């Protein structure tokens, strides 16, 4: 395996599968099996999941709700997704730990860097819930922050498309795919890889990002093994 320790970023929307809202259990199983596959090979796996399939703070603000309140509600949505993935992984026989940036003693450990790293060293999959624990930060920012804190070698951003394109390939079938990009190129071309806070954190701390199609079984293993799948963004 090319990478020993990774941070996998999944969107909440990806968990919807074919549904319009909530969690598609069949999609969870597909993800859990892929994660188990690389964990069994000795790869240390940390995960951050978004909450957009349940609730988004930005959408709440558009509806007149205070942004801070909406963001905290979004953090709770990420915990629902994290618990669902934890359960799916445990059904597959994967040892997991769920850590939350907001105290929820009944369901998760508090986030403690040293504890998280120790879990990873023992072969447990660690899921980080509740984003950063602060409003106005996305789960992309949480993924970047946690990746830096645990010394992950790479952030793997699992999406519905197989990389970064000049335009949205679902809207324009003629869009061209990038194989490699620098952070500066992605910024100058205004490619929406991650939000700017997350992007800057990765650039300043030299953490590469690989955007790939997580919905194709086997892709996660191929990316971790170093196969050129998706789009690599690096310094």
Residue-wise pLDDT for 169-204, tens only, equals 888 989 999 999 999 999 999 898 899 999 999 999
205, 234 contact by CB (below 8 A): no
Residue 15 has pLDDT above 80, yes or no: yes
* Strands 164-165 and 44-49, sheet pairing: unpaired
In this structure, the number of other CB atoms found within 10 A of the CB of residue 213 comes to 16
Cα(33)–Cα(88) distance, integer angstroms: 9
Percentage of the residues of the chain whose pLDDT score is greater than 70? 100
Tokens 């796996």 sit on residue: 45
126, 82 contact by CB (below 8 A): no
Average pLDDT, the chain: 95
Mean of pLDDT values over 49-64: 85
Give pLDDT, residue 207: 98
Domain boundaries of the chain, sorted by first residue: 5-234
Q: What is the 3-state secondary structure (H, E, C) of 74-122?
A: HHHHHHHHHHHHHHHHHHCCCCEEEEECCCCCCCCEECCHHHHHHHHHC
Per-residue confidence at 168, pLDDT binned at 50, 70, 90?
confident
Residue 109 has pLDDT above 90, yes or no: yes
Cα R_g (the chain), whole angstroms: 17
In this structure, the number of other CB atoms found within 10 A of the CB of residue 51 comes to 26
**37 — alpha (psi -120 to 50), left (phi > 0) or beta?**
alpha
pTM for this structure?
A: 0.95
89, 125 contact by CB (below 8 A): yes
5-234 belongs to CATH 1.20.1260.10: no
Sheet holding 44-49, edge to edge: 109-110, 96-100, 125-129, 44-49, 5-10, 154-159, 209-213, 231-234, 180-182
Give pLDDT, residue 59: 75
Give pLDDT, residue 52: 93
In this structure, the number of other CB atoms found within 10 A of the CB of residue 234 comes to 16
């Amino acid at each position: 395996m090319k990478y020993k320790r990774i941070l996998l970023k999944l969107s909440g929307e990806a968990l919807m599968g074919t549904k319009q809202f909530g969690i598609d259990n069949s999609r969870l199983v597909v993800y859990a099996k892929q994660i188990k596959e690389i964990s069994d090979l000795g790869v240390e796996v940390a995960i951050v999941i978004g909450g957009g399939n349940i609730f988004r703070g930005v959408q709440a603000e558009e509806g007149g709700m205070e942004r801070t309140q909406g963001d905290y509600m979004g953090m709770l949505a990420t915990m629902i997704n994290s618990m669902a993935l934890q359960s799916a992984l445990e059904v597959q026989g994967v040892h997991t730990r769920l850590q939350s940036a907001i105290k929820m003693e009944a369901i998760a450990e508090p986030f403690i860097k040293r504890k998280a790293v120790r879990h990873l060293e023992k072969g447990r999959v660690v899921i980080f819930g509740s984003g950063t624990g602060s409003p106005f930060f996305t789960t992309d920012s949480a993924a970047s922050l946690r990746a830096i804190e645990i010394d992950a070698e790479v952030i793997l951003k699992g999406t519905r498309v197989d990389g970064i394109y000049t335009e949205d390939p679902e809207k324009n079938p003629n869009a061209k795919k990038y194989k490699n990009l620098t952070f500066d190129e992605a910024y100058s071309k205004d490619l929406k890889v991650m939000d700017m806070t997350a992007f800057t954190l990765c650039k300043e701390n030299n953490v590469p990002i690989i955007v790939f199609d997580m919905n194709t079984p086997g892709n996660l293993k191929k990316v971790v093994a170093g196969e050129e799948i998706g789009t690599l963004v690096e310094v």
